[in-house]
């Protein structure tokens, strides 16, 4: 699930963001599915649910993304909440969050974000574009979900980190396991 921050401050970075998503989608397996969530003052399920990884599904979405104009503020909570909707429990899923700023609309309390990610059975991989991000919040959410938060500066960085995130979700993993040995 791609959760993309598209406030007005992303105007200068938006083409890099689209290029990174394009290259990232090209690396997915045909058996995979994807969803694109955009958020600024509100969130939008841009892909209208999960889509198959196929040229017929990807091409029109990328064309629509290219025509989109970033605007307004950053309702990060609404974007994450929408991205977490409709996840299948029988499939490994990761949230790829690309953001350039702080949560400044809607829910902004760190504890609410941490609770949201702790209750979700998915990993969060956060890619930070720019220097104004709330790193303690983003790193905290990534940590509670067993993901990571990393700064990126261009489309190549996005693709490289997407591949790293993909390699972490292509196999099953156990979380919060306790092992007791008797004897």
pLDDT tens for the chain, residues 1 to 183:
889 888 766 666 777 778 778 877 877 788 888 899 998 888 899 999 999 988 899 999 999 888 887 777 778 888 888 998 888 777 778 888 888 767 778 787 889 888 988 888 788 888 887 777 778 888 888 889 888 888 776 555 665 666 566 556 555 556 667 889 998
Q: What is the pLDDT of residue 27?
A: 76
Q: Which residue is it, tokens 């702790």?
A: 118
**Structure-derived torsion over alpha carbons of residues 178, 110, 100, 168, reported in degrees to the nearest 10:** 10
For residues 120 and 142, the answer to whether their CB atoms sit within 8 Å is: no
62, 29 contact by CB (below 8 A): no
Helix/strand/coil (H/E/C) assignment for every residue in the chain = CEEEECCHHHHHHHHHHHHHHHHHHHCCCCCCEECEEEECCCEEECCCCCEECCHHHHHHHHHHHHHCCCCCCCCHHHHHHHHHCCCCCCCCCEEEEEECCCCCCCCCCHHHHHHHHHHCCCEEEEEEECCCCCHHHHHHHHHHCCCEEEEECCHHHHHHHHHHHHHHHCCCCCCCCCCCCCC
How confident is the model at residue 167, as a pLDDT? 57
Cα–Cα distance for residue pair 97/79, rounded to 1 Å? 9
Closest CA to 84 of 119, 46, 41: 119
Q: Which pLDDT value is given to residue 92? A: 76
Alpha carbon distance 175, 183 (integer Å):
25
Q: How many CB atoms lie within 10 A of CB 106?
A: 18
Predicted structure pTM score = 0.81
């Amino acid at each position: 699930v791609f959760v993309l921050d598209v406030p007005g401050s992303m105007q200068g970075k938006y083409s890099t963001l689209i290029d990174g998503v394009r290259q990232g989608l090209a690396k997915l397996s045909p058996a995979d599915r994807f969803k694109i969530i955009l958020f600024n003052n509100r969130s939008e399920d841009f892909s209208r649910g999960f889509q198959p990884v196929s040229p017929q599904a990807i091409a029109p979405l990328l064309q629509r993304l290219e025509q989109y104009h970033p605007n307004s503020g950053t309702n990060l909570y609404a974007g994450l909440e929408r991205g977490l909707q409709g996840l299948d429990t029988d499939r490994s899923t990761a949230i790829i969050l690309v953001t350039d700023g702080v949560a400044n609309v809607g829910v902004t309390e760190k504890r609410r974000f941490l609770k949201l990610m702790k209750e979700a059975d998915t990993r969060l991989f956060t890619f930070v574009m720019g220097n104004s991000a709330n790193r303690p919040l983003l790193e905290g959410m990534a940590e509670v979900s067993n993901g990571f938060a990393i700064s990126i500066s261009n489309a190549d960085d996005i693709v490289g980190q997407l591949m790293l995130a993909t390699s972490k979700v292509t196999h099953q993993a156990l979380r919060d396991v306790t092992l007791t040995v008797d004897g």
